[in-house]
């Protein structure tokens, strides 16, 4: 890849990091979007390197034709389709580059939520899937594209990840986050919403049982946990990712829908950010993405 192209890509990632931190409504790691700045929002499930899905979503969302529409993406890192035994390369960093370019183009309307895979890259905590250590595969993919500049790109991505919001609050009391903390053990019993407003992260919040960890790793979808979390976050409904959905999306409980942006049925949800919303309204906004 040409040196000029690499230089521009690296500059774009660094610029996007600044823009994510300076997004209007940002307080710590909680982003509250003003009703004056939004009409509706498209939320995409975990993408894990699926560039083709995001390209299709962008066409469907038509951000240029809808100047008050926002786009929220999550879990871009680590292409879980990669089979290292067959020589596959994880190029999910290219999807991250695309989102960084979009952030530079639509600085107030494109948002990238922190997920557990980004957190694992930031903390250096190993994460594996299908028997492969995804962190190492991620760096080798960067190295395959960037060569000697790979360490600079890896550092820029790490800085990007610690600039991402943990949750996005919409005017109609819908909270978009990667997942809900578990209601037991090391989840909500120790969860402190005030920590979301603090910057930088505390080391304790990143550890198992910490607030940031809980909001990227939890898998509890019980109605009781949803109610407890709703009370803590002053929200009514949740749109999350994190968990695979064979049909692309599903209702997890009376407050939460889960989206999945990966194969076999990548999906996103387009819904009003200002009108009163119900769980039925969120489900009505869910759409599967047809890709080649």
Q: What is the DSSP string of 186-248?
A: TSTTT--GGGGG-SS--HHHHSTTSHHHHHHH-----HHHHHHHHHHHT-SEEEE-SS--TTS
- Torsion over CA: 61, 107, 155, 208 (sign): negative
| pLDDT value of residue 185 | 66
* Predicted confidence (pLDDT) per residue in 101-131, tens digit: 999 999 999 999 999 999 999 999 999 887 7
Count Cα neighbours of 43 within 13 Å in the Cβ-side half-sphere: 31
| pLDDT value of residue 128 | 86
> Residues 139-151: what's their mean pLDDT?
96
Note the pTM of the prediction, 2 decimals. Answer: 0.96
**DSSP 8-state secondary structure symbol assigned to residue 284:** H
Query: Is a pLDDT exceeding 60 seen at residue 186?
Result: yes
Q: What Rg value do the Cα atoms of the chain yield, rounded?
A: 18
CA-to-CA distance for 284 and 275, rounded, in angstroms? 14
* Predicted confidence (pLDDT) per residue in 157-175, tens digit: 999 999 999 999 999 999 9
Q: Which of 243, 230, 250, 262 is nearest to 44 (CA)?
A: 262
Backbone angles phi, psi at 263, to 5 degrees: -60, 150
Mean confidence (pLDDT) of the chain: 94
Q: Residue 58: how many CB atoms within 10 A of its CB?
A: 17
pLDDT band for position 235 (cuts 50, 70, 90): very high
What is the side-by-side order of every strand in the sheet holding 249-251? 26-27, 30-32, 167-169, 174-177, 237-240, 256-259, 249-251
| pLDDT value of residue 98 | 97
| pLDDT value of residue 2 | 58
Calculate the CA 291 to chain-centre distance: 21
**Structural contact between residues 78 and 127, judged by C-beta atoms closer than 8 angstroms:** yes
| pLDDT value of residue 18 | 98
How do the domains of the chain map onto residue ranges?
3-288
Q: What is the CATH number of domain 3-288?
A: 3.60.21.10
What are the counts of helices (DSSP H) followed by strands (DSSP E) for the chain?
Answer: 10, 14
Within the chain, residue ranges assigned H as helices are 3-21, 51-61, 93-105, 116-123, 134-146, 150-161, 203-206, 211-217, 223-233, 279-284
Query: Is a pLDDT exceeding 70 seen at residue 180?
Result: yes
Query: Is a pLDDT exceeding 80 seen at residue 228?
Result: yes
| pLDDT value of residue 80 | 85
* Predicted confidence (pLDDT) per residue in 33-68, tens digit: 999 999 999 999 999 999 999 999 999 999 999 999
Q: What percent of the chain has pLDDT over 90?
A: 86
């Amino acid at each position: 890849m040409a040196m000029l192209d690499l230089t521009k890509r690296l500059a774009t990632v660094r610029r996007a990091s600044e823009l994510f931190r300076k997004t209007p409504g940002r307080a710590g790691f909680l982003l509250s979007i003003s009703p004056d700045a939004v009409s509706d929002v498209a939320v995409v499930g975990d993408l894990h390197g699926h560039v083709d899905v995001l390209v299709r979503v962008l066409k469907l969302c038509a951000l240029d034709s809808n100047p008050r529409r926002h786009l929220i993406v999550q879990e871009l890192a680590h292409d879980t389709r990669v089979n290292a035994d067959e020589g596959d390369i994880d190029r999910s960093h290219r999807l991250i580059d695309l989102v960084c370019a979009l952030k530079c183009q639509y600085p107030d309307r494109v948002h990238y939520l922190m997920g557990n895979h980004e957190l694992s890259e930031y903390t250096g905590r190993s994460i594996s899937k299908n028997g492969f250590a995804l962190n190492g595969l991620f760096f080798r993919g960067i190295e395959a594209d960037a060569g000697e500049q790979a360490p600079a790109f890896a550092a820029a991505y790490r800085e990007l990840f610690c600039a991402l919001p943990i949750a996005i609050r919409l005017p109609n009391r819908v909270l978009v986050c990667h997942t809900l903390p578990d209601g037991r053990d090391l989840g909500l019993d120790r969860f402190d919403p005030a920590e979301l407003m603090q910057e930088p992260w505390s080391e304790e919040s990143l550890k198992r049982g910490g607030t940031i960890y809980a909001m990227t790793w939890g898998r509890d979808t019980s109605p009781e946990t949803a109610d407890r979390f709703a009370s803590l976050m002053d929200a009514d409904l949740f749109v999350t990712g994190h968990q695979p959905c064979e049909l692309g999306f599903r209702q997890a409980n009376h407050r939460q829908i889960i989206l999945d942006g990966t194969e076999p049925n990548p999906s996103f949800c387009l819904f009003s950010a200002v009108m009163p919303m119900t769980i039925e309204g969120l489900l009505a906004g869910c759409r599967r993405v047809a890709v080649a």
